């Protein structure tokens, strides 16, 4: 692979650079105003163009602009013809195609495969402004518009579809996006380094078909193609399944002289004696590394994995084992008569490179052509600051690791503080509150392996599961320092932390939890235990519920010390692979015991390349060695079962009571159906009992936050009692409902009359 260079090593001197455009042009009129007759690169995106580093097309466009290239943007074009892709003319170098910040299928469809009614990345949230599988459609249209112009695809949608993958929306294994889109090259992950190198090489006249040594790139090659004669091929089954182990030859054993009468000078000896070459440890390691770096792992072909769930799971496991840029090898997978070749993942950006990416000349606003239209995604992030990338958590249902990698890439304090000052001074509508200062995970800022050599050789899928690795640094002091400096900036009233928090890491630093709770929580803190049951959590690679309890104890204690009423809002996932009906029931009972009444809940959505998606499709566990006889992962696939699992998370919603009653009876847990506080759901409701008059339904309350209790109307002769054996929940201290505490204040008790006796 090409040797790494600083991302900004080739930036031309400022004196020879054209001034930065106020916005990258979206029309010929804007190009004319800049004095451009053509664009070097045209980026096509499925999102509205917002010139801010949180939006991929803006970050990539400004990065290339800083390298001296002229970049235009075509945002949300009409894909029904190629005409919209000709609006800026023919690019000199290539089309860069992205679906936007989200996978287009996740953006357009719910977990129940129903089309969404809005799109947060479109002006006024208007839906249907991008096609299904946006990258494929846009790439084909760009090719149609100018057949001789190279097409480069990227973004999370392309990144997660770089090999054969299970597609939830069509319920089948689809090919890599490369042959479907007919793109010349795919850039996966955070691909700034590859993008800059590729663009300069194309500008220098290289043919894109000759550029094959860039990390973080994938492309189509003839079957059996190798970069050189010194490369070797390693079958993936040898990576995951050990073969026969041969006894090692003893180099000190003396060969016996053959003195038999039939021995001749031409006879083959029984043992060939070779001189022993003594090599230093450094030489041995260098030879092993060279051999490793020039080995490609051949994955089972698309034609195999599309019909064989076991081989699909095996492929997923091998793919994830080859994800550390420090030791990952190239991979290849046959697709019909051609191969998809994947180079190793990109090397992470250094801190000064991260600063350079985020410190470029962004307008930090939507393109003026949108006028006063509201873009929900912009409203969400315009007062927030991204401080890092990547996640070493490795949660199986999440695709961040597959896209951004496990190595944390952090910005420096000065760069982050400059952005906060920029928001204060130049962002319209700012009132003094930074809405978030985080990233994929709020408290992984500047956390890393204690030893670079260990980090580069590690093949763990998570640094924090099943336990936090002893080699992982968990010191939060740099993040605490950043928090304090951020809120000390004049004009900043509040800095909130809204990104997801890894609480098993946070409890390692009570000082961090105290700092967070005292200064950076706006009443509610979202946190994601995801589940309570060990079987499900093991498939998620999430910590046990005990870690949540430990964090909650700290959170409550420090909130009390700060004199604040603050609450945790837990997030949970329904119907995750490995989750049984009993697991969801136990979670519902835990919610009731702790008096949580969830408003928004999430049903597991299988996204391409995630390990949980592999479990969903194959019913195999890729976290362990995969064979035909290996562990079976039970998975909720039918719509009815998935709805019942989701209903358990909102047991308090009357709309969910019918399906919960049916499920509980089927499970033999009818004892949880009844009208008492010890039951999970009532045995009847007004709409099911002939429409009872309002007066016949009496609400009784025994304290804030308890379940509603109803006085049952006289039973009809045909009605049967569903709960012959009452369920008694373990006694626990019932705390007030979160919403009840926030929205209402308990009325003060009437003052006791003088002389009255206390009962």
* DSSP annotation of 109: B
Residue 751, token pair as written in the block: 């003052």
The conformational region for residue 578 under phi > 0 = left, psi -120 to 50 = alpha, else beta, is left
Taking CA 429 as the corner, what is the angle to CA 428 and CA 432, rounded to the nearest 5 degrees? 110
Element (H, E) at 372: none
Q: Report the alpha-carbon distance of residue 306 to residue 617 in Å, rounded.
A: 11
Contact 443, 479 (CB under 8 A): yes
Q: Report the alpha-carbon distance of residue 147 to residue 141 in Å, rounded.
A: 10
The conformational region for residue 364 under phi > 0 = left, psi -120 to 50 = alpha, else beta, is left
Q: Report the alpha-carbon distance of residue 612 to residue 625 in Å, rounded.
A: 15
Residue 93, token pair as written in the block: 């170098």
Element (H, E) at 333: strand 330-335
* CA neighbor of 18 nearest in space, from 3, 40, 2, 1: 40
* CA neighbor of 177 nearest in space, from 160, 198, 195: 160
Instruction: Please give the C-alpha separations between residue 699 and each of 118, 673, 685, 696, 741, in angstroms, as whole numbers.
Output: 38, 18, 12, 10, 19
Q: Report the alpha-carbon distance of residue 215 to residue 218 in Å, rounded.
A: 9
365-366 and 50-51 strand pairing: antiparallel
Contacts of 201 (CB under 8 A, 6+ apart): 211
Instruction: Please give the C-alpha separations between residue 40 and each of 71, 94, 159, 207, 360, in angstroms, as whole numbers.
Output: 6, 7, 24, 15, 19
* CA neighbor of 489 nearest in space, from 541, 406, 561, 417: 417
Q: Report the alpha-carbon distance of residue 671 to residue 726 in Å, rounded.
A: 5
* DSSP annotation of 731: P
What is the 3-state secondary structure of 417-430? Answer: HHHHHHHHHHCCCC
Q: In 3-state terms, what secondary structure has residue 743?
A: helix
Q: Other C-beta atoms within 10 Å of 288: how many?
A: 10
602-603 and 567-574 strand pairing: parallel
Q: Report the alpha-carbon distance of residue 192 to residue 360 in Å, rounded.
A: 14
Contact 14, 326 (CB under 8 A): no
Q: Report the alpha-carbon distance of residue 86 to residue 206 in Å, rounded.
A: 24
Q: Is 458 annotated as a binding residue?
A: no
232-235 and 295-299 strand pairing: parallel
Q: Report the alpha-carbon distance of residue 99 to residue 155 in Å, rounded.
A: 7
* DSSP annotation of 466: S
Q: In 3-state terms, what secondary structure has residue 603?
A: strand
Contact 345, 216 (CB under 8 A): yes
Residue 466, preceding bond cis, omega within 30 degrees?
Answer: yes
Q: Report the alpha-carbon distance of residue 73 to residue 60 in Å, rounded.
A: 11
Instruction: Please give the C-alpha separations between residue 499 and each of 1, 55, 211, 550, in angstroms, as whole numbers.
Output: 35, 17, 38, 20
Q: Report the alpha-carbon distance of residue 84 to residue 76 in Å, rounded.
A: 9
Q: Other C-beta atoms within 10 Å of 508: how many?
A: 15
Write down the residue that tokens 């069509």 correspond to: 170
Which positions make up the binding site for [4Fe-4S] cluster? 391, 395, 398
Which positions make up the binding site? 391, 395, 398
């Amino acid at each position: 692979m090409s040797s790494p260079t600083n991302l900004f090593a080739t930036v031309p001197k400022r004196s020879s650079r054209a001034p930065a455009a106020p916005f990258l042009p979206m029309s010929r009129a804007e190009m004319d105003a800049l004095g451009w007759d053509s664009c070097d690169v045209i980026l096509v995106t499925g999102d509205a163009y917002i010139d801010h580093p949180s939006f991929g097309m803006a970050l990539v466009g400004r990065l290339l602009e800083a390298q001296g290239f002229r970049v235009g943007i075509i945002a949300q074009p009409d894909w029904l013809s190629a005409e919209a892709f000709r609006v800026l003319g023919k690019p000199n170098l290539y089309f860069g195609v992205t679906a936007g910040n989200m996978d287009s299928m996740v953006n357009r469809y719910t977990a129940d495969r129903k089309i969404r009614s809005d799109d947060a990345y479109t002006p006024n949230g208007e839906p249907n402004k991008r096609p299904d599988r946006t990258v494929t459609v846009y790439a084909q249209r760009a090719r149609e518009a100018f057949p001789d112009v190279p097409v480069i695809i990227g973004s999370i949608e392309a990144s997660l579809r770089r090999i054969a993958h299970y597609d939830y929306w069509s319920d089948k294994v689809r090919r890599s996006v490369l042959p479907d889109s007919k793109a010349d090259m795919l850039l996966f992950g955070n691909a700034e380094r590859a993008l800059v190198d590729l663009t300069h090489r194309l500008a220098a006249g290289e043919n894109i078909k000759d550029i094959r040594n860039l990390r973080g790139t994938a492309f189509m090659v003839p079957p059996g193609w190798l970069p050189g004669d010194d490369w070797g091929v390693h079958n993936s089954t040898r990576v995951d399944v050990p073969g026969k182990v041969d006894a090692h030859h003893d180099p000190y054993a003396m060969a016996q002289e053959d003195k038999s009468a039939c021995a001749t000078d031409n006879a083959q000896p029984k043992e060939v004696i070779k001189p022993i070459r003594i090599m230093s440890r450094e030489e041995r390691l260098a030879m092993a590394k060279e051999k490793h770096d020039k080995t490609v792992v051949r994955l089972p072909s698309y034609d195999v994995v599309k019909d064989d769930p076991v081989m699909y799971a095996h492929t997923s496991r091998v793919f994830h084992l080859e994800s550390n840029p420090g030791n990952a090898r190239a991979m290849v997978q046959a697709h019909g008569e051609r191969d998809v070749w994947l180079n190793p993942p990109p090397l992470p950006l250094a801190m000064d490179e991260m600063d350079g990416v985020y410190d470029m000349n962004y307008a930090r606003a939507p393109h003026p052509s949108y006028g006063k239209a509201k873009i929900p995604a912009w409203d969400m992030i315009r007062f927030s600051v991204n401080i890092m990338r990547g996640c070493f958590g490795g949660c199986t249902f999440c695709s961040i690791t597959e896209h951004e990698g496990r190595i944390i890439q952090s910005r420096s304090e000065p760069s982050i503080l400059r952005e906060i000052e920029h928001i204060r001074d130049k962002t319209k509508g700012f009132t003094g509150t930074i809405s978030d200062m985080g990233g994929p995970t709020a408290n992984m800022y500047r956390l890393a392996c204690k030893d670079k050599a260990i980090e580069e050789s590690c093949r763990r899928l998570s640094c924090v599961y099943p336990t936090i690795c002893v080699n992982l640094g968990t010191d939060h002091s740099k993040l605490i320092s950043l928090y304090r400096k951020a809120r000390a900036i004049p004009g900043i009233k509040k800095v909130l932390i809204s990104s997801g928090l890894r609480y098993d890491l946070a409890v390692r630093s009570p000082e961090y939890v105290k700092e967070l709770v005292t200064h950076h929580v706006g009443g509610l803190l979202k946190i994601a235990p995801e589940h309570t049951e060990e079987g499900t959590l093991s498939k998620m690679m999430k910590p046990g519920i005990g870690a949540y309890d430990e964090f909650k104890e700290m959170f409550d204690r420090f909130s009390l010390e700060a004199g604040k009423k603050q609450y945790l809002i837990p997030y949970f996932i329904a119907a995750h692979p490995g989750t049984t009906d009993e697991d969801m029931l136990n979670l519902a009972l835990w919610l009731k015991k702790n008096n949580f009444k969830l408003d928004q809940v999430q049903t597991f959505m299988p996204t391409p390349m995630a390990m949980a998606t592999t479990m969903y499709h194959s019913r195999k566990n890729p976290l362990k060695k995969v064979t035909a006889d290996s562990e079976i992962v039970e998975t909720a696939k039918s719509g009815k079962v998935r709805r019942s699992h989701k209903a358990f998370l909102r047991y308090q919603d009357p709309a969910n009571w019918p399906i919960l009653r049916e499920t509980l009876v089927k499970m033999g847990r009818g004892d949880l159906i009844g009208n008492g506080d010890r039951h999970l759901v009532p045995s009847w409701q007004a709409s099911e009992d002939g429409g009872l008059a309002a007066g016949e339904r009496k609400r009784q309350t025994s304290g804030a936050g308890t379940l509603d209790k109803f006085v049952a109307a006289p039973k009809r002769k045909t009605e049967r009692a569903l709960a012959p054996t009452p369920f008694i929940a373990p006694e626990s201290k019932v705390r007030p409902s979160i919403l009840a505490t926030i929205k209402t204040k308990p009325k003060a008790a009437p003052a006791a009359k003088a002389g009255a006796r206390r009962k």
